[in-house]
Structure 1
Amino acid sequence: MMASEITPEEQAELDKALYDALNPLAAALRSRETGLSAERMWEANPVEVALSVLAAWKVVDVEVRRLTGRAAATAGSYGASYEQLGAVWGITRQGARKKWPDAVSRPAPATAGKSTLAMFGGTAELVQSPSGDWGWTGKGADGASGTVAGGTLYTTVEEAAAHAGAFLKEHAPGIGDRS
C-alpha cells in the first residue's frame, strides 16, 4: 500500500469529517442566498439545496488548492524536489512543476549577479551586491579606472550599466569631453 492510500475506515472517518465541516458552510451560503435561516435550508427545493451543497464544495475546493500549494511550497523550501512533489501527488516531475511553479527554488546561475560591459574601447564589470542592488567598476580605453561614485548603488542592472557606459564613453579616445 502506498503511504497516500487510506483504509476504508479512514475513508469513512474522512467523509464524515468533511460532511460535518461542509454542512454549516452550505447552510450559511444557502441562508445568504435566500434569506431563510440556516436551520430551514433542508426544507427548500431539493435542486436548490443540492446546488447550495455544490457551491460549498467549490469553496472547499478552492481552499484545498490554496493549502495544497502552501504545503508544496513548504516542502520545496525544505529542499524537496519536483520529482518528490510529483511522486507524492501521483504526477510526473513536469506535472508538479506545472502545478506548483514556484514551490522549488532553483539555484541562481553562476553568472547571475555579475556581467561585463564592453564599449568605447573600455570595459566595466557590473556586480550585484548581497542586498540586490548593483554597482560597477570600469577601465576606460584611455586607461582611467572608475567605480560607482560615492559608493552609490543602483536598483537595476540597467541603471548601473547606463552609468558605467557613461564613464566608458567619457574615457574613450576622441569621444568624451575632457575640458
Structure 2
Amino acid sequence: MVVAVEQQETVGNDVSVGDAAKLRDPAWREPGDLEIAELLDQMRSVANALARRMSARSRECMDNDHTAPAGVTQYADWQLAHLRVLRYMQEAVQELAADTAQTAGGMGASYGQLGVAWGISRQAARKKWPQTGAAGESLPETIFIERYGGSAEVSRVPGRSSWTWMGRGCDGTDQQAAQSCDSRWAALTAADAFLREHFVALGWRDGVDVPLALVVPDRETCWCAGIDD
C-alpha cells in the first residue's frame, strides 16, 4: 500500500514548466537514412544479446563455462530463438507506445496528433489508445504511467490547482509526493524520476557474454566440441 504523505508547500515552477504546454508544430522531424540504419543496428544488438541468453545452444555453452562459437548465430535453432526475441520486442514496442500516448494525451496532445505520430487516422488512434484523455477535450485529472518496471499515478490535488503523484517502483518501494507541484508536468517529471531511481535490472548471469578467463572451458562434452571459434 502507498503511504500517504501530508501535502506541504507547492513546488515552484521553472521556465520549463511554463513551456511544457506549448506544443511544437511540427513536433518532430523525420529521421534520415543513416539514423534509421543506426536504430536498426541498436535494435539488432539488443535482440542478439537476449537471443544468446535464450538460445538452447548458447545456454549449453554457458553451462560449460565458455562462450558459444561465433558461427552459432547461423544455426536455424539459434535464429528461432532470435525470432522469439523479436516477437517480445514487438510487444514491448506496443506497451511503450501506449505509455507514450497516455503521457502525450495527458499533457495536451489530441488524438489527431497521436494518429499522425503513429501513422494512423484520428479515429484509429482513439480506438488504439482509448484511455489517453486526448482528442482536444479537457485534460484528464489523472495520468497513469508504467515505466522502468514500476507504475505511478499523477493527479490533481482535490480542490486545488496543484498536482501530486504516488507510485510503486520496480523494487517494490511505495512512495507519494511529499510536496505538491504547481503543474502536471512537474508532477509527471517527479514521478518519472522516482520510477527511474527504483529500477532493478533483471540480473542476468554475471559475465554471460564474456569468456571466463580463469576457467578451463569444458568443450569435450559440449555440442560445439571440435568447432573452431
TM superposition score normalised by structure 1: 0.52
Answer 1 or 2: higher relative contact order, Cα 8 Å, separation at least 6: 2
- The alpha-carbon distance between structure 1 residues 32 and 68, as it changes in their structure 2 partners (threshold 3 A), is farther
Letter in 1 for 2:106: S
Percent identity between the aligned chains? 33
Residue aligning to 1:104: 133
Residue aligning to 1:39: 67
Structure 2 residue runs of 5 or longer lacking an equivalent are 1-26, 140-157, 160-229
Cα separation, 2, equivalents of 1:26 and 1:82 = 36
Higher share in helix: 1
Does the alignment pair 1:71 with 2:68? no
Flag the structure with larger Rg. Answer: 1
Question: Which of 32, 47, 51 is 1:22 aligned to?
Answer: 47
Residue aligning to 1:85: 114
Q: What's the C-alpha RMSD, in Å, of the aligned pairs?
A: 3.0
Which aligned segments of 4 or more residues in structure 1 are displaced greater than 4 angstroms? 31-34, 105-108
Letter in 2 for 1:20: S
Cα separation, 2, equivalents of 1:45 and 1:79 = 48
| Count of matched residue pairs | 109
Structure 1 residue runs of 5 or longer lacking an equivalent are 109-129, 132-179
Q: Contact 2:58–2:67 (CA<8 Å) still a contact in 1? A: no
Residue aligning to 2:88: 59
Offset from partner CA, 1:123-157 (integer Å, 9 cap, x none):
xxxxxxx79xxxxxxxxxxxxxxxxxxxxxxxxxx
Cα separation, 2, equivalents of 1:87 and 1:79 = 15
Letter in 1 for 2:72: E
Q: Contact 1:4–1:88 (CA<8 Å) still a contact in 2? A: no
Matched residue SS, 1:102 = coil
